Amino acid sequence: MAACEEELVGAAARPTASTRVRLAFGLLLLGGVALLALRLDLPGFFDNEGRYAEVAREMVVSGDWVTPRLDGTLFLNKPPLTFWLTALVFRALGFDERARLVAVGAAALTLVATFGLGTLLYGELVGLVAALALASMLGFVLEARTLRPDMLLTAAIAVALWCWQLAERDRPPRRGWLLGMWIALALGVLDKGLVPLVVAGVPIVAVTLRDHGWRGLTRLRPLLGLLVIAAVVAPWHVAVALRHPGFAWDYVVNQHVLFYLDLKLPRDSDGDTLAFFWAAWAGRAIPWIILVPLTLREGTRGATRIATAPARATFLLWAWTAGLLLFFSCSPSRLEHYSIPVLPAAALLAARTWQRARHGDVPRAAWRSLAAIGALVFAAGVLGAVCGRQLLSRTYWIVQVPVFLELALPAALTLVAGGALLAVAAMRRRPDAMVAVLALATIPVAAIVLGAEIVAEPLFSWRPLARALVAAAPRDVDVVFEAPEEYQLVAGLAYYAERPIELLSPPGFVPPTYLVRDVESMFLARPAFERRGRDGGRLAFVSDPQQRRDTPDGLVPSPFHVVGRFGDRWLLTSFAPASGG
């Protein structure tokens, strides 16, 4: 009897499989977040990050958290959530690149939601592998260290789908999970406009119609959703619309409808080609993208109500993926990073392939294809080791930073090792070994890419130029920026220089409606700029980074002094600089 009691106590003390999986996920989450948050100060904010950092900085300095401003001018193109969160980090930690903790926190939340979704759809082990896949997905790692709204958007969509699936399984309280879904979507709208309603809406509506028909849409409590979205989103939008005439039309029509149709004014962005958009999606999902297509046939079977539960789950993930990719494929204004919100779906599909391979459901042809991919990666690595430096040296901006060329060999050797190990794991049909190879291969690849970003800082960040500007030009010197039509590029310069920047008027600029009354005060006309230079004014001039110029001749009236060149950014002064030059 005592022996039996001792055995029962021992069994109770041993962790269950579920506990071990959750413990493993907790360790993965903590370790992943720690690595993502390592040295966030490197590199400096790139151009796209600069606008969010500068608007948030001006919020903190001015105390006005309602009206976003950039370089002292209204900037109402974007919803405010990213600005607000960044401003909160600035208030707590000071003005520096640790504001990227906003993206790191969103990445952590996305990992939690991905683990939760995988657990509901396929079981806890698949949820764990999916979280591992996402945490070691190249595009996810890079985006988790980038200050912009897309990681927050991804978190909002992943959390919304997780809450919805909990509600669909009648997990009590069902209404509470639906409320969580609508709150997540509302925060997504406050972060990125109407995009999350489309991206999450496609899989939610597709699965609901499959399982319950048109009447099943009432299960989603649309009236509750409307009230939640109105409560979260309306206050800021209404307040700004009342303060600033022209905002409502620009935000709803210009920034959403006309932008989608590539008819927005001003023409401050160029859409990517369809091929590049799809290639960028696949590239961001490296290396796990190779496992995703192996679930496509199961996903198509899952479109029917009578399909197996795993097939129906795979259909949901493909609806999530295809919905976003097809939606933006129809828009000529698409940009490559718009595919980021489906990275969790790719991770879940890759984990499903691993699960099927463990059960022997992956055919021999698929294993041969994976082995062939490994061989191709190996061959690409050998080619890179032999002539990678020569190929890279043909790109003019890479040659400006010779350290770039030193990364060619370690990148090639990583491909050689990763490709060989993947081929061996596939030939031996070892799904666990394959997952280990893919996860571990991302560590050196991510380190190399992040290292490339650091050495590329002078080409894509304003920080080096701003430091030279501050050293060369006292604060009483007027700083003029040769603004492109995407005048917001001045944001990073204003952030790091911590001074107002005058914008040289871009030709043919058509302002958004909320700026019509301010456009004359926003820009400095070129004749006035040249007159100021001829009259002996002390000026510092920064050239348009979107234009390649091998010499600074003709940018400003002579005489001028060259302080430095930073990629395609020239810094000139009309006087002998205090230092540098």
Long-range contacts of 430-434 (CB under 8 A, 24+ apart): 431/354, 431/357, 431/358, 431/362, 432/354, 432/358, 434/354, 434/357, 434/370
pLDDT, residue 4, reads 45
Tell me the C-alpha distance between 190 and 9, whole Å. 51
DSSP-assigned letters across all residues of 518-542: THHHHEE-HHHHHHHHHTT--EEEE
* pLDDT tens track, the chain, 581 positions: 444 444 433 444 456 778 999 999 999 999 999 999 999 999 999 999 999 999 999 999 999 999 999 999 999 999 999 999 999 999 999 999 999 999 999 999 999 999 999 999 999 999 999 999 999 999 999 999 999 999 999 999 999 999 999 999 876 778 899 999 999 999 999 999 999 999 999 999 999 999 999 999 999 999 999 999 999 999 999 999 999 999 999 999 999 999 999 999 888 888 999 999 999 999 999 999 999 999 999 999 999 999 999 999 999 999 999 999 999 999 999 999 999 999 999 999 999 999 999 999 999 999 999 999 999 999 999 999 999 888 888 888 787 888 888 999 999 999 999 999 999 999 999 999 999 999 999 999 999 999 999 999 999 999 999 999 999 999 999 999 999 999 999 999 999 999 999 999 998 889 999 999 888 889 999 999 988 877 777 899 999 999 999 999 989 888 899 999 999 999 999 998 865 44
**Counting Cβ atoms within 10 Å, is residue 196 exposed (0-12), middle (13-18) or buried (19+)?**
buried
Half-sphere exposure of 168 (CA within 13 A, CB side): 21
Task: Look at phi and psi of residue 307 and say left if phi exceeds 0, alpha if psi is from -120 to 50, else beta.
Answer: beta
For 575, the token pair is 């006087």
Q: Is the pTM of this model over 0.85?
A: yes
pLDDT, residue 12, reads 41
In Å, how far are 24, 163, 165, 418, 443 from 346, measured between CA atoms? 21, 19, 18, 20, 19
User: Using CA atoms in the order 15, 21, 26, 30, what is the torsion angle rounded to 10 degrees?
Assistant: 120
Tell me the C-alpha distance between 160 and 228, whole Å. 13
Q: Strand 561-566 vs strand 569-573: parallel, antiparallel, or unpaired? A: antiparallel
Q: Considering only CA atoms, which of 233, 249, 138 is closest in space to residue 194?
A: 233
pLDDT, residue 397, reads 78
For 29, the token pair is 């989450």
Tell me the C-alpha distance between 250 and 202, whole Å. 26
In angstroms, the first-to-last Cα distance of the chain is 89
What are the beta bridge partners of residue 572? 541, 562
254: three-class secondary structure by DSSP? helix
CB 71 within 8 A of CB 497: no
Tell me the longest C-alpha to C-alpha distance in the chain: 103
pLDDT, residue 320, reads 98
CB 389 within 8 A of CB 329: no
Give Cβ neighbours of residue 334 (< 8 Å, ≥ 6 apart).
Answer: 271, 272, 274, 277, 328
DSSP class of 483: -
DSSP H helix total and E strand total for the chain: 27, 8
pLDDT, residue 578, reads 66
pLDDT, residue 241, reads 96
SS (H, E, C) 102-121: HHHHHHHHHHHHHHHHHHHH
For 427, the token pair is 């030939």
What are the beta bridge partners of residue 479? 540
Q: Strand 502-504 vs strand 478-482: parallel, antiparallel, or unpaired? A: parallel
> Residue written as tokens 């070129």?
526
CB 574 within 8 A of CB 556: yes
In Å, how far are 410, 413, 537, 538 from 388, measured between CA atoms? 10, 11, 48, 46
CB 276 within 8 A of CB 336: yes
461: three-class secondary structure by DSSP? strand
Tell me the C-alpha distance between 266 and 509, whole Å. 6
Tell me the C-alpha distance between 461 and 489, whole Å. 10
pLDDT, residue 6, reads 42
Task: Look at phi and psi of residue 440 and say left if phi exceeds 0, alpha if psi is from -120 to 50, else beta.
Answer: alpha
Q: Which helix (H) or strand (E) holds 384?
A: helix 364-392
Give Cβ neighbours of residue 515 (< 8 Å, ≥ 6 apart).
Answer: 73, 74, 246, 522
Half-sphere exposure of 398 (CA within 13 A, CB side): 14
Give Cβ neighbours of residue 319 (< 8 Å, ≥ 6 apart).
Answer: 202, 203, 206, 207
SS3 content of the chain, % helix, strand, coil (to 5): 70, 5, 25
